[in-house]
Amino acid sequence: MKYVPIKYHRRCYTDFYVGKESDEIRETRPEDDPRTTLVTRKNQKDLSGEEKNLFMSVIDELVQSGQYNIHVNHHPVMSHRMHGLMSGFIGYERFLYWHRVFLLKLEGMMRAIDQRVFIPYWNWVDDREFPEWLKDFTPTGLTDLDGDMLPVTRNPGANGITLPTRLRVDEILSLPDWSSFVRQLEDGPHNRVHRWVGGRMNDIFYSPADPVFWLHHAEVDRIWHIWQLAHSGLGTTITGADAVLDPWAESTTELEVIATLGYSYQEETL
């Protein structure tokens, strides 16, 4: 099954930026920089009421400041080549890396507001309903790159799609080579959850407008981390400009090990 985008007629944006943050800059980060503090991303079903409210209030603050909208609007710029569906081989190779840094950038903005906050993950293999606490959380006032409104709508399970099964994810985790793993993870469970949620999440361009996007992609990232634990040293072999995760400075080689990126997961098994 493919993650089918909502059809839009839009301008083609091709600008992207490359660059690299030096080791010297990293070493001079202040001690209270959110990226210097290890955070544990928890299963959304285990969050306390306070943690749920904190996540939503911080997202609301980013929406009000405009930072959330700016970040969401990186995603429709397909010149970043972060989806196999849109960019073929390079898109598959960059998919997990690009979205890993996409989450990290949002989490950094969130933790600059309150260091207690983190992006939780939605383990849709076990929790097969839309997270109850997010059902009424639909940010308003967001706009796309053309300035048109981006309403956040959902229609979970209404299109006949079912959520990925444990058997299917276990099969993907057992794949021994990187290319097969990433292709089957993106085209399978990743796309299927987008379609199952429906509404804005089924829009390949602007799905990050829906806050559940971040919980879904944290789970995709967690599955990649689980695969990495069993397949040490395996990953993309792209180099040069292809490996730079524009519009940010990070490259794929910097995104391999989550412990070096300042976070971990509550659970390291499916």
Q: Which amino acid makes up residue 29?
A: R
Distance, CA of 126 to CA of 133 (rounded, Å): 17
List per-residue pLDDT tens for the chain, 270 residues long: 333 333 333 322 122 222 233 333 233 344 444 445 689 999 999 999 999 999 999 999 999 999 999 999 999 999 999 999 999 999 999 999 999 999 999 999 999 999 999 999 999 999 999 999 999 999 999 999 999 999 999 999 998 999 999 999 999 999 999 999 999 999 999 999 999 999 999 999 999 999 999 999 999 999 999 999 999 999 999 999 999 999 999 999 999 999 999 999 999 999
User: Which residue, 231, 6, 225, is CA-closest to 103?
Assistant: 225
Q: Tens of pLDDT along 110-153?
A: 999 999 999 999 999 999 999 999 999 999 999 999 999 999 99
- For residue 219 the two structure tokens come to 């789970």
Can you name the CATH fold of 23-265?
Answer: di-copper center containing domain from catechol oxidase (1.10.1280)
Reported residue count of the chain is 270
Q: What local confidence, expressed as pLDDT, does residue 226 receive?
A: 98
Q: What local confidence, expressed as pLDDT, does residue 65 receive?
A: 98
Q: What local confidence, expressed as pLDDT, does residue 37 receive?
A: 66
Tell me the domain boundaries of the chain: 23-265
Q: What local confidence, expressed as pLDDT, does residue 38 receive?
A: 87
Strand, helix or coil at 262? coil
Contacts of 86 (CB under 8 A, 6+ apart): 78, 204
Q: Tens of pLDDT along 142-162?
A: 999 999 999 999 999 998 999
Distance, CA of 98 to CA of 104 (rounded, Å): 10
Q: What local confidence, expressed as pLDDT, does residue 114 receive?
A: 97
Q: What is the pTM of this model?
A: 0.87
Q: What local confidence, expressed as pLDDT, does residue 28 receive?
A: 36
Q: How many CB atoms lie within 10 A of CB 199?
A: 18
